[in-house]
Amino acid sequence: MSNPDKQQRKIIQAERIQLFIASVTDYAIYMLSPDGIVNSWNAGAERFKGYTADEIIGKHFGRFYTIQDRAAERPGRALARAAEHGRFEDEGWRVRKDGTTFWASVVIDAIRDHDGVLLGFTKITRDITEKRRTEEALHASEERFRLLVQGVTDYAIYMLSPEGRVTNWNEGARRIKGYTADEVVGTHFSRFYAEEDQRAGLPMQALATVRREGRFEKEGWRVRKDGSKFWAHVVIDPIFDAGGALVGYAKVTRDVTERRNAAEVLERTKAALFQSQKLEAIGKLTGGIAHDFNNLLNVIINGIDLLRLTPDHGARLKVVDSMERAAQRGASLTQQLLTFARQQPVKTEKLDLNLVIGSFEAVLRRAVPGSVQLHLQLAPQLPEAEMDLAQFESALLNLVVNARDAVGSGGAIDITTAAVDLRAGDVGGLGAGRYVRVGVKDDGAGMPPDVMERALEPFFTTKEVGKGTGLGLSQVYGMVQQAGGDLSMASAPGAGTDIALYFPAIAGAADDASAAAPARQKILVVDDQPEVLAIAINLFQGLGYDVLAANNAGEALNAIGRHPDIGVLFTDVVMPGMNGIELAKEAKRRLPELKVLLASGYGATPLLSRESGADALPLLNKPYRLHDLLRHLKAIYG
């Protein structure tokens, strides 16, 4: 082919390229001189920028930039970069002929000849305003979503990499787990699991479940920054890209510790209700058995009385005594059954349990061997509580005997009293209020959990056959329930047992011990019967008095002469020689502030009716119980 033909073909090819460029409407394609003067212009440039070729060719391309960009000399720097590196790419606002702006994607290429001399630049511009608006809308949506997630404080919401590393962190995660984003982003999420769960591989098992099943949801213990634990509800979902590849996980954690605690309280309440219903059913059964058993015992006891009326040998009397002891033991068992069944007739009264326990101390000490220490810690100013005295004493003795068996040949038993304020549900089903607490604690063998669960069941015992009926604690439970209270138990193997009885405190009832027994006051007890005198001495000592004793009026007056600080005279009425009324009058003549309490097994005796002014002296009828004595002592103190 000749050179003219080749030249012609090049001209034709160049014209075609120029025609192609000129017809492109989606891109502004034009040439610039080395100084930035426009020297060509296509249809796309005219469509984007609004200038015709005649209007723009020969003008500097800087007019397409905003005033701010021109002031910053961005057009000149763009050409310099293209000349230096051969190419320049940028995005930014550009200005049309009518003054409106559009977001442009710009590419500038440097054009050089074979010798490397810069001939000018090719500039390609595309209007990507819609693309930018779409991206901005997407970014705004993502930002709103980010702010929404970040603003959530009740849930820990964060992302994990495919390997399980934390990639972001919201405010809820910081509040629940205690870490800031700087402390936790980039670390593995297994740090939130307990050490035993980490060793068991639970974190990676969770991610494996997500990959296999598409979701993981579970509850369990998690660990905060400060080392404390909380019960968490966890959901993990996978995140895939447009091509279906796993790019990470979305993890949502909520602290549901309060909900779990509430559920546990509800479960314990249900269990307590079931136990109460079970005990009620057994109580109804024992009520019928006890009624029939009492009828049988009545026949036996009356038969014993008839046998005693018949003279017989000493050996037969011993047998009769054995029968009587057995019958009395059966009667005691019946009392326990009836107490548990809550069907026995009761005589409730207001009691100062400090005084009751103090007067009962001698019996309690006789129930434990000398090798066991028995300590009483009675709180001052104890409110009164209302219950049956005999039942309370029986319940307290049961607890002490159980504690004695638990400590064996050594150890210690503590009996305590206190006034406590409870919230609803603190102890069993008791409501909020003030209660009198009586505790019996030992340092013995303690009870395992399975024994604790059955300890209140009737007839359940861990003692050897013949060593216990299994009614002790059930009787205590029935008594305290009947008094409107409840009990609590705490025990563990090797850690002893602590059983506490709670009785509703009588509003406004303060400690009456001071009224019954002012601190270490002296009392003179007078009775001509040694056995009766000994019992009275023990009672008053138990109440906290300093006790002086006399067998007759003469000894009593001598004692008054030696001890002018005697505060109370407690004397029998019927005595040989000077009777109790005459003694009281003489004693009050010598000690005008002396307080007097008479006792008589005859009730309103003829002596009282004969003696002038005797009716003004308080009289306690024999046989008397501790609560009768306390009531009269309170009366004489006014």
- Domain made up of 134-255: CATH architecture: 2-Layer Sandwich (3.30)
pLDDT of residue 513: 41
Q: In CATH terms, are 3-127 and 348-504 the same topology?
A: no
At 638, the amino acid letter reads G
Which tokens is 8 given? 């012609």
pLDDT of residue 121: 94
Q: Which residues of the chain have pLDDT under 50?
A: 14, 20, 278, 281, 284-285, 288, 291-292, 299, 302, 315, 336-344, 459-460, 463-471, 509-517, 603-607, 609-610, 612-614
- Domain made up of 3-127: CATH architecture: 2-Layer Sandwich (3.30)
Pairing of strands 229-240, 348-351: unpaired
Q: CB-based burial of residue 251 (10 Å sphere; 0-12 exposed, 13-18 middle, 19+ buried)?
A: buried
Yes or no: say if 547 and 537 are a contact pair by the CB < 8 Å rule. yes
CATH of 514-636, picked from 3.50.50.60, 3.40.50.2300, 3.40.50.300, 3.40.50.1240, is: 3.40.50.2300
Query: What are the phi and psi torsion angles at 610 (to 5°)?
Result: -80, -35
Q: For residue 122, which of 73, 69, 61 has the smallest C-alpha distance?
A: 61
Other C-beta atoms closer than 10 Å to the C-beta of 381 total 11
Which tokens is 299 given? 């026949």
Instruction: Please write down the HEC assignment for all residues of 51-101.
Output: CCHHHHCCCEHHHHECHHHHHCCHHHHHHHHHHHHCEEEEEEEEECCCCCE
- 45, HSE (Cβ side, Cα atoms, 13 Å): 25
CA atoms 63, 65, 66, 67: torsion sign:
negative
Which tokens is 483 given? 């008094």
Instruction: Specify the CATH number of the domain 348-504.
Output: 3.30.565.10
Q: For residue 124, which of 184, 169, 78 has the smallest C-alpha distance?
A: 78
Other C-beta atoms closer than 10 Å to the C-beta of 89 total 13
CA distance 123 to 425: 82
Give bridge partners of residue 94 from the DSSP assignment. Answer: 65, 102
Question: 67-105 pLDDT, tens per residue?
Answer: 999 999 999 999 999 999 999 999 999 999 999 999 999
Q: For residue 279, which of 534, 464, 412, 473 has the smallest C-alpha distance?
A: 473
Any residues with CB less than 8 A from the CB of 206 and at least 6 apart, and which? 216, 218, 234, 236
At 53, the amino acid letter reads A
- 225, HSE (Cβ side, Cα atoms, 13 Å): 11
Q: CB-based burial of residue 499 (10 Å sphere; 0-12 exposed, 13-18 middle, 19+ buried)?
A: buried
Each domain of the chain, given as residue ranges in start order, spans 3-127, 134-255, 267-341, 348-504, 514-636
Question: 114-144 pLDDT, tens per residue?
Answer: 888 999 999 998 888 888 887 777 666 666 6
Yes or no: say if 174 and 181 are a contact pair by the CB < 8 Å rule. yes
